[in-house]
Amino acid sequence: MTTTAAPLDVATVRADFPILGRTVREGKRLVYLDSGATSQRPRQVLDAERAFLEIANAAVHRGAHQLAEEATDAYEGARAKIAAFVGVDFGEIVFTKNATEGVNLVAYAMGNAATSGPEADRFRLGPGDEIVVTEMEHHANLVPWQQLAERTGATLRWFGVTDEGRLDLSDVDELINPRTKVVAFTHQSNVLGTVNPVKSIVDKAQAVGALTVLDACQSVPHSKVDFHALGVDFAVFSGHKMLGPSGIGVLYGKRALLEALPPFLTGGSMIEMVQMARSTFAPPPQRFEAGSPMTSQAVALGAAVDYLSAIGMDRIAAHEHVLTEAALKGLAEIPGVRVVGPLDTEDRGGAVSFVVEGVHAHDAGQVLDSLGIEVRVGHHCAWPLHRRMDAAATVRASFYLYNTLDEVQALLDGVRETQKFFGVA
């Protein structure tokens, strides 16, 4: 990938992130390589949230006073920004507490179609219907579908993964068939880094009338993503992985689908009319935002989107590309290290997972941590994928806009140090 924009000025970026100045374990400089789990927050995002709370905090949508007006404007203004950031319309964005809730929302709402009117027919599932996922899904985009299958009697099926860590599409025409009701898959694997061919899967699904649900948790924070261009029906991502707060996620849904989708969580703010015995529901997005929302968190996520946009998603992607390439090259040069996932940077994001032969991931992570290098160890909520790749657990380094080539070098040195410590090299 090439880009004509000037490269990212990492030093300037880093200065925006207070936490990157701290040390860990006996004064080691913090090398944070765990942004795939959660990212850090720049001052601009922290300041925006605090300013909102010190000036305009109030219950949104429910109040008629000035604070409530200002709070509602800030909240809905954030929705508009976030919608534009992923190329969709204002009313197609639903705020959830995290991406996991977003997937559950779609799965449960489909289950609720059983007791809804004819407008919800296309969401109805039962015995004989099929739900398709992949073997590289995060548990968040797997377990809710297992449960939906269990509740409705539908059958769960899945795409396999090749030895190289790519989706095995050889049986796509068998897997996506007229019985298929939903195809739920990840845009970018949080373990392998693999970027999946969204458009071609969506085309296959559309051809048989199946809905598509995209897990965009690892793509939206790291590159320019346009859900309208991708053509997916639903997509989810999380604020905390893109410089925003914890406690807020986003569900995108095509307008016509959201309009027909039955509610999931019910309560205040999502109703049209309530009587003791029954209720009717508001149009989307309100229908899917029951209770007091994540007000300041939405505002802060809006600020995160501003921050990312000001730098430019293309420059961020290009920067991560350089880091990923250096990490893959460096790890390839260390004997006894096996990278789990594509070895080149083609259609590949910046999650680099690996096994140090003879050293358990937990132990490797401990040595790295003692050097100040914060990576994630385990199955990264993708246990079936780890079984498939024949790794009980892996070490994962994941990069973001504030990481440097120096930090990649620190990781590589740390891996050698790990081998030395455990006497395997």
Partner 1 sequence: MQLQQMYQEIILDHYKNPHGRGLRDPFDAESHQINPTCGDEVTLRVKLDGETVADVSYDGQGCSISQASTSVLTDLVVGKPIGEAFKKMDAFVELMQGRGQVEPDEDVLEDGIAFAGVAKYPARVKCALLGWMAFKDAVSRSEGAKA
Ligand X SMILES: Cc1ncc(COP(=O)(O)O)c(C=O)c1O
Query: Of these partners, partner 1, a second copy, ligand X, none, which one is at the site of residue 44 (CB under 5 to 8 Å by kind)?
Result: none
Least distance from C-beta 127 to ligand X, angstroms? 28
Q: Are 151 and 183 in contact (CB under 8 A)?
A: no
Query: Of these partners, ligand X, partner 1, a second copy, none, which one is at the site of residue 18 (CB under 5 to 8 Å by kind)?
Result: a second copy
Least distance from C-beta 14 to partner 1, angstroms? 26
Catalytic choice (48, 191, 381, 397)? 381
* By CB under 8 A, residue 44 contacts a second copy: no
The CA distance from 48 to 299, in Å, is 7
The CA distance from 327 to 352, in Å, is 8
Q: Please, which of residues 49-108 interact with a second copy by CB under 8 A? A: 50, 53-55, 57-59, 62-68, 96-101, 103-104, 108
Q: Which of 201, 210, 217, 270 binds ligand X (CB under 6 A)?
A: 217
Least distance from C-beta 304 to a second copy, angstroms? 13
CA angle in degrees (0–180, nearest 5) for 256-205-83: 40
Q: For residue 116, give Cα distances in angstroms to 81, 384, 418.
A: 33, 34, 57
Q: Which of 72/134 has CB closer to partner 1?
A: 72
* By CB under 6 A, residue 105 contacts ligand X: no
Q: Are 197 and 226 in contact (CB under 8 A)?
A: no
Least distance from C-beta 387 to partner 1, angstroms? 8
Q: Which stretch binds ligand X (CB under 6 A): 110-118, 214-222, 255-263, 274-282?
A: 214-222
The CA distance from 80 to 116, in Å, is 30
Q: Which of 204, 240, 254, 348 binds a second copy (CB under 8 A)?
A: 240
The reply to whether omega before 144 is within 30° of 0 (cis) is no
Q: How many CB atoms lie within 10 A of CB 117?
A: 9
Burial status of residue 269 (CB atoms within 10 A of its CB: 0-12, 13-18, 19 or more): middle
* By CB under 6 A, residue 289 contacts ligand X: no
Q: Which of 74, 86, 105, 140 binds ligand X (CB under 6 A)?
A: 140
The CA distance from 359 to 122, in Å, is 50
Q: Are 75 and 298 in contact (CB under 8 A)?
A: yes
**Which residue's entry shows tokens 């921050």?**
307
Which residue ranges make up the site for partner 1 (CB under 8 A)?
A: 25-26, 61-64, 68-69, 72-73, 271-273, 282, 360-363, 366-367, 370, 377-379, 383, 386, 392-393, 421-422
Distance of CA 2 to the CA centre of its chain: 25
Size of the site for a second copy (CB under 8 A): 98
Catalytic status, residue 381: yes
Q: Residues interacting with ligand X, by CB under 6 A?
A: 98-100, 138, 140-141, 186, 190, 215, 217-218, 238, 249, 268, 291-292, 381
Q: Which residues are catalytic?
A: 381
